[in-house]
Structure 1
Amino acid sequence: MELTSSITQVTVPARQGRAVRVRAGDLVRVSTPRGAQVGDLFAFVSGDLTEHLSASHTRGHVNRLFPEVGEQFVTTRRRPVLTLVEDTSPGRHDMLIPACDPERYRQLGHTGQHASCAENLTTALRELGIGITTVPQPVNVFMDIRAAPNGELEWRSSPAAAGAAVTFRAELDCVVVVSACPQDLVGINGTETGPLLIEIGTAP
Structure 2
Amino acid sequence: MMTTEATLTMVDNSEPAGTNDSLKSPISADGTPELGRVYEVPARHGRAVRLKRGQTIKIINTYGTQVADMWAFNAGQMSEFMSMEHLHAWIDRVNPRPGDQMVSNHRRPILTFKTDTSVGVHDTLIAPCDIYRYRTLGVEGYHDSCADNLRLALKAIGLRTREVPGSLNLWMNIPFDGEGKIQWLPTVSKPGDYVEFDAEMDCIVVLSACPQDIVAINSNKPLPVHFSVH
Instruction: State the TM bucket, normalised to the shorter chain.
Output: over 0.9
Match of 1:110 in 2: 139
Match of 2:181 in 1: 152
Identity among equivalent positions (%) equals 41
More strand by share: 1
Match of 1:43 in 2: 72
Map 1:14-163 to 2 at 5 A: 14-163=43-192
Name stretches of at least 5 consecutive residues in structure 2 with no aligned partner: 1-33
Match of 1:199 in 2: 228
Match of 1:187 in 2: 216
The alignment of Structure 1 onto Structure 2 pairs a total of residues equal to: 197
Give the 3-state SS of the residue equivalent to 1:145 in structure 2: coil
Question: What amino acid maps onto 2:69 in structure 1?
Answer: D
Match of 2:204 in 1: 175
Give the 3-state SS of the residue equivalent to 1:154 in structure 2: coil
Q: TM-score, normalised by structure 1?
A: 0.94
Offset of residue 9 of structure 1:
2.2
Offset of residue 147 of structure 1:
1.0
Assess, with a 3 A threshold, how the Cα gap between structure 1 residues 6 and 129 changes in structure 2: closer, same or farther: closer
Offset of residue 150 of structure 1:
2.5
Q: TM-score, normalised by structure 2?
A: 0.83
Higher relative contact order (CA 8 A, sep 6+): 1
